[in-house]
Amino acid sequence: MPTKTKALLVVIIFIVALAMGVVYLMYLGFTTDDDTASSLKNEATTYINESFPYEGDVTEVINDSTGVYEAFQHAAIVDLDQKDFNMLVFKNEQGQLVDSYVAEVWEDELENVLVPEIESRFGSSDMIKELWIAYPKNIGQKKEIEPNNVPSVAGQDVNPHIRLTINRGEEESDEEDLQALIDLIQSELEVPGGRITLSYNDQAFLFKDSNKSENF
């Protein structure tokens, strides 16, 4: 086997091993011990049954030791009845149970505005590999909004983080289309600012197209 081929194989094997290691560490970062999970599940179930206006079931507990979310380390995932989204129940800095319902409602509203425009500009729904929208999970408590009286996200002074991954590589019109998404949410929902990232699932093992990110 030629030396160059051997070197390339070594590089490929190293990259694959590194990627597997990162995935495994992320998995560990989102798992939690049985006692903590059981305790939080029980507390979250009581919270849903006694303090929350909508019905739902606690499905699992996540441990955010990787720092993806700023509002908590442990959270119970709640599958809400008659809703198209789940929510999280977690403890705030004072040790009180709170929920992410307001954030989830606003994320759902923004997604419903974005998806038709994304499909129009980037192709059918099959083109969307992932659309991730995030508002601060404790925004409902910060703004003192009750779950049974959540206003529209339109005009709210809070900035979302948006990540769109599409099933193709980069095209020349992408920057224009990305700006069109920004213009849409600013005009239709009066979103004051935020960050949006466009990434590509282009199936390339090496030399993938670079993400495009814009602050607005």
Residue at a domain's end among 48, 78, 99:
99
Q: Flag whether 7 is in a domain.
A: no
Question: Does pLDDT of 17 surpass 90?
Answer: no
pLDDT computed for residue 26 by the predictor: 47
Residue at a domain's end among 99, 116, 149:
99
Q: Flag whether 78 is in a domain.
A: yes
Q: Which domain holds residue 187?
A: 102-215
- pLDDT level of residue 205 (50, 70, 90 thresholds): low
Q: Flag whether 4 is in a domain.
A: no
Residue at a domain's end among 49, 80, 99:
99
pLDDT computed for residue 204 by the predictor: 59
Assign residue 210 the CATH number of its domain: 3.30.300
Q: Flag whether 123 is in a domain.
A: yes
Question: Does pLDDT of 164 surpass 60?
Answer: yes
Lowest mean pLDDT among 36-50, 58-72, 114-128: 58-72
pLDDT computed for residue 35 by the predictor: 82
Read off the pLDDT of each residue in 32-53 and give the average, rounded to a whole number. Answer: 90
Whether residues 118 and 89 fall in one domain: no
Mean pLDDT over the full length of the chain: 86
Q: Flag whether 127 is in a domain.
A: yes
pTM: 0.80
Whether residues 152 and 93 fall in one domain: no
Hey, what are 152's tokens?
């529209």
Question: Does pLDDT of 28 surpass 60?
Answer: no
Question: Does pLDDT of 183 surpass 60?
Answer: yes
pLDDT computed for residue 25 by the predictor: 46
Whether residues 62 and 116 fall in one domain: no
Q: Flag whether 16 is in a domain.
A: no
- pLDDT level of residue 19 (50, 70, 90 thresholds): very low
Question: Does pLDDT of 158 surpass 70?
Answer: yes
Whether residues 137 and 187 fall in one domain: yes
Q: Flag whether 205 is in a domain.
A: yes
Whether residues 209 and 108 fall in one domain: yes
Whether residues 209 and 124 fall in one domain: yes
Taking the alpha carbons at both ends of the chain, their separation in whole angstroms is 52
- Looking at the structure of the chain, the number of domains it has is 2
Read off the pLDDT of each residue in 91-120 and give the average, rounded to a whole number. Answer: 96
